[in-house]
Structure 1
Amino acid sequence: MQRIVHTGHGEPAKVLRLEALSDASPLAGGMARVRVSATPVHPGDLLGVSASPAFGAPPVIPRGGRVPGVEGVGVVEALAAGIDPSHPVQVGSRVAFLSANGAWSSRIAAPVQSLIPVPDEVGDEVAAQMSINTLTARLAMRAGHNALPEDKRTDVTVIQTAANSAVGKLLTHLLIEVGVNPILLAGSAASAQALKAARPNLPVIATENPGWKGELRDAVAKKSVYVAFDGVGGSLLPDVAGFLARGGAIISYGSLGGAQTDIRSIAPQALTIKGVSLFSWQFEPAAVRNADLAKALELAHNFPSLFPVAERYPAADYLAALEHAGRRGKTGTVLLAF
């Protein structure tokens, strides 16, 4: 039994370490103990370890250290006393878990009510990563819809940065489902080529190409674009903002570029920047949260190709996993196996 832990903030490869996991503590009421099979290395996990401003307030490190990770898949090995025997989650159930702090560990404790039974048709590698990215994409899409002027909600065209990222691919799928026309931006030519193969009917533009703004101008043509979804930040955000109609909105769900953003061009165009993240999802109405989780499971079951895996690393190789997770242009999610 092992866990990956840090006792201070800093560069993940320098402050994280692998250590033996102590014996499990007794379970509090309503809790389950899950033996973790796989858990993803999300960009947000690394931002928290490094205390990046893009994470928000630095996460508190308790005595004994903090274990990153908030989702994964595993098998229930114990339940607290008093759990209803008719509950769908029982000992031996394979479940996905979400917002269980400390997912980078051989075992975690989580509220039984938060666990999602995983059908046999959904593999571990998909179930481990199906929640956070889907919920983020759903949050972004709702924010984008709300930002549209009421008289501009038909024949909608939007711009998407980071379109080859995990969230980006899910967002594209969800947008197409509701009839929105996305223009896809990817950082590298290789990422753009992968997107063109997957979405041959959509405009795809590589922003490493010096002429990318001209390509985007041609793709936008005479359309009025009121919403852009951005997962990159940095200098790309104001560049994309220049293509929005006056009064438009940028829905920011990440900062994969890792750079600060100059927002001086936002006010003259009367634009709005709206940030969304998993932290805000917990404040959504219960019915909305349940619908989001049901959608995540539906996508995992019907469209597993939306959840590609870059590589699966044993916990002992966590340093290699961290390096891979940070590679520019990688395709798929890096998983840790315990």
Structure 2
Amino acid sequence: MNRRVVHTRGGPPADALTVVQDPEPAPPERGQVLIRTTAFPVHPGDLQAVEAYPGTAATPLPVGVEATGVVEAIGPGTHVAPGVALGGRATVFPQPGAWSQWIVADADVVVAVPEELSDEVAAQMLVNPLTTVMLRREAEEHLALGYDGVLVQTAAGSSVGRLLTGVSQAHNLALVNVVRSGSGAAELRRRFPAVPVVATERPGWTDEVRAAADGRPVSVALDPIGGKLTESLLALLAPGGKLVGYGQIAEEPISVHASTLLHKSLTLRGKNIGRWLSEASAERRASDVAAAKLIALTLKDQFDVAATYGLDELRAAVEHAVRPGKVGTVLVRPW
């Protein structure tokens, strides 16, 4: 038996998602690895893909891209990554249909889990750390970063935001964190006392960001929110600055007059972790995965779990994942 999560239409994920039961998968073929899933995360991007799906699908569509579990079988003649072995733990990404009790994955997306990591961290070991690696690379492409330039990130209390803060500290990148509320700012100061943090609920928060920058140029802003916040971030950027959007939390569109970009020679760029596999070379992917595992090992205390649910509690898990003020990632254990 293989219970897995699917959908046939778009709309609110709590309503659109359902659990179906299939036979257990056949033994893996050459180039494949069979994994018995122990946990998978509910990422915002997973839910956005379901909500945005147009029309109705003729056959059920799989859900999820990341999961962790135990290697149960390896296809004959299959080359696997270092550390991947029968009976060992592994995390997969990007793996369509990862929200499933059993996964037959292409060997090149299967990554061994270090012994030091719990299943809770292993289930989050790739998507968020790889996003962090991607965003750090984007930021450091700006010549001012690492010199006098300052990096600003919004949604800094999110899972990715906390990892990016830890990585920025490790690499001596000047950073100002931006969150929504005063309580969120207080929690982030507790975790990272040396990093300034500003709450957007306070009037004049952009002036606080400038004060925290202490006369240095705000060279790069990283933002998963979009919408009206984009205007404020572009106003903060120094001439030649860059704003990188990597999410779509806000429902309203980004509305920016061309003059805003032209007069200061600003760059507005979008990044999507879903394109990582197709855009990165094999060498870059291997390097990025190694960096992601290192992030998981050195910052494992930042991989908060908001709650853990069973597969029969899927609706509650999905509703929790989009709850305002949630701290950490919602996990599902499918058995």
Q: How high is the TM-score relative to the length of structure 2?
A: 0.92
| Contact 1:228 1:240 (8 Å CA) reproduced | yes
Q: What is the distance in 2 between the residues matched to 1:80 and 1:308?
A: 34
What letter corresponds to residue 21 of structure 2 in structure 1? A
Any idea what SS the aligned residue of 1:219 has?
helix
What letter corresponds to residue 207 of structure 1 in structure 2? T
What corresponds to 1:334 in structure 2? 330
Q: Which moved more, 1:236-245 or 1:267-276?
A: 267-276
Distance 1:86 1:136, change over 3 A: closer
Give how far 1:86 is off.
11
What corresponds to 2:6 in structure 1? 5
Q: Does 1:240 align with 2:206?
A: no
Q: Does 1:302 align with 2:298?
A: yes
What letter corresponds to residue 298 of structure 1 in structure 2? L
| Contact 1:38 1:74 (8 Å CA) reproduced | yes
Distance 1:27 1:44, change over 3 A: same
Q: What is the distance in 1 between the residues matched to 2:263 and 2:79?
A: 59
Any idea what SS the aligned residue of 2:330 has?
strand
Q: What is the distance in 1 between the residues matched to 2:49 and 2:208?
A: 36
Distance 1:320 1:98, change over 3 A: same
Q: How far does the alpha carbon of each residue in 1:156-212 deviate from its partner, in whole angstroms, 9 at most, with x for none?
A: 311111111111111112222221110000012221111011111221111122232
Any idea what SS the aligned residue of 2:29 has?
coil
- Unaligned runs of at least 5 residues, structure 2: none
Q: What is the distance in 2 between the residues matched to 1:240 and 1:86?
A: 41
Any idea what SS the aligned residue of 1:296 has?
helix
1:173 is matched with which residue: 166, 182, 185?
Answer: 166
Q: What is the distance in 2 between the residues matched to 1:123 and 1:12?
A: 28
1:188 is matched with which residue: 168, 174, 181?
Answer: 181
Give how far 1:247 is off.
1.8
What corresponds to 2:140 in structure 1? 145
What corresponds to 1:19 in structure 2? 20
Q: What is the distance in 2 between the residues matched to 1:193 and 1:92?
A: 43
Pairs within 5 Å for 1:47-58:
47-51=48-52
| Contact 2:133 2:291 (8 Å CA) reproduced | no
2:63 is matched with which residue: 64, 68, 76?
Answer: 68
- Unaligned runs of at least 5 residues, structure 1: 52-57
Give how far 1:236 is off.
0.9
Distance 1:262 1:294, change over 3 A: same
| Contact 2:166 2:299 (8 Å CA) reproduced | no
Give the number of aligned pairs.
330
1:279 is matched with which residue: 262, 265, 274?
Answer: 274
Q: What is the distance in 1 between the residues matched to 2:55 and 2:262?
A: 35
| Contact 1:39 1:103 (8 Å CA) reproduced | yes
Q: What is the distance in 2 between the residues matched to 1:59 and 1:82?
A: 40
Q: Which moved more, 1:173-182 or 1:124-133?
A: 173-182
What letter corresponds to residue 169 of structure 1 in structure 2? R
Question: How large is the Cα RMSD of the aligned pairs?
Answer: 2.1
| Contact 2:46 2:64 (8 Å CA) reproduced | yes
Give how far 1:280 is off.
3.0
Q: How high is the TM-score relative to the length of structure 1?
A: 0.91
Q: Which moved more, 1:104-113 or 1:84-93?
A: 84-93
Q: What is the distance in 2 between the residues matched to 1:285 and 1:62?
A: 33
| Contact 2:40 2:333 (8 Å CA) reproduced | yes
What letter corresponds to residue 101 of structure 1 in structure 2? P
What corresponds to 1:290 in structure 2? 286
2:105 is matched with which residue: 98, 104, 110?
Answer: 110
| Contact 2:133 2:292 (8 Å CA) reproduced | no
Q: Does 1:30 align with 2:31?
A: yes
Q: What is the distance in 2 between the residues matched to 1:86 and 1:239?
A: 44
Q: What is the distance in 2 between the residues matched to 1:125 and 1:86?
A: 21
| Contact 1:188 1:329 (8 Å CA) reproduced | no
What corresponds to 2:213 in structure 1? 220
> Identity of counterpart residues, as a percentage?
36
Any idea what SS the aligned residue of 1:141 has?
helix
Any idea what SS the aligned residue of 1:154 has?
coil
Q: Does 1:320 align with 2:321?
A: no
Q: What is the distance in 2 between the residues matched to 1:201 and 1:213?
A: 19
Any idea what SS the aligned residue of 2:203 has?
coil
Distance 1:249 1:308, change over 3 A: same
Q: Does 1:164 align with 2:157?
A: yes
Q: What is the distance in 1 between the residues matched to 2:284 and 2:207?
A: 39
Q: Which moved more, 1:62-71 or 1:168-177?
A: 62-71
What letter corresponds to residue 75 of structure 2 in structure 1? A
Q: What is the distance in 2 between the residues matched to 1:229 and 1:80?
A: 41
What letter corresponds to residue 312 of structure 1 in structure 2? T
Give how far 1:245 is off.
0.7
